[in-house]
């Protein structure tokens, strides 16, 4: 009886370790590079381009071959949003006509600009 309990306990601990290790692999799916394979699905599939911080749609007939893959753009942005992504937003002067100095970041030139 004690032997079977010990074996069960060992099995349980090993199973939990395996699940923990597998979960750790998925913690940073947004950092994975875009990898795709040809497939026959017509369902939209989104991925995060880490260099721009933007979610893009896979081409029709492409599927992700890793876990950087999301069913909608909203899910992609929610899962992968970071403060760094704010710097990749386009310049937006808004609807206000007040003479307020505003700044924006231009990623291609890697510089701050008045806008």
**Which phi-psi region, left, alpha or beta, contains residue 110 (left: φ > 0; alpha: ψ -120 to 50)?**
left
Query: What is the 8-class DSSP label of residue 51?
Result: T
pLDDT in tens, 50-90: 888 889 998 878 877 888 989 999 999 888 876 556 666 67
Domain count across the chain: 1
Task: Give the model confidence (pLDDT) of 16-28 as tens digits.
Answer: 454 444 444 445 8
Tally of CB atoms within 10 A around 88: 13
Range of the domain at 95: 24-114
Tell me whether residue 8 is in a domain.
Answer: no
- Asked whether residue 63 is assigned to any structural domain, the reply reads yes
Quick one: CA dihedral 56, 59, 61, 64, positive or negative?
negative
Question: How many whole angstroms separate alpha carbon 103 and alpha carbon 100?
Answer: 10
33: left (phi over 0), alpha (psi -120 to 50) or beta: beta
In a domain, 72, yes or no: yes
What are phi and psi for residue 101, nearest 5 degrees?
-75, 125
The reported pTM is: 0.48
Kindly report the CATH number assigned to the domain that includes residue 53: 4.10.410.10
Range picked from 29-33, 84-88, 97-101 for highest mean pLDDT: 29-33
In a domain, 83, yes or no: yes
């Amino acid at each position: 009886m004690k032997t079977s309990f010990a074996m069960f306990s060992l099995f349980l601990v090993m199973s939990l370790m395996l699940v923990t290790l597998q979960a750790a692999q998925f913690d940073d799916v947004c950092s994975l590079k875009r990898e795709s394979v040809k497939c026959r699905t017509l369902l939209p599939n989104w991925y995060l381009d880490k260099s721009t911080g933007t979610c893009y749609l896979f081409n029709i007939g492409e599927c992700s071959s890793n876990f950087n893959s999301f069913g909608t753009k909203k899910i992609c942005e929610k899962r992968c949003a970071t403060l760094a992504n704010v710097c990749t937003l386009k310049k937006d002067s808004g609807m206000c006509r007040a003479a307020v100095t505003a700044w924006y970041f231009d990623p291609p030139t890697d510089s701050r600009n008045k806008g």
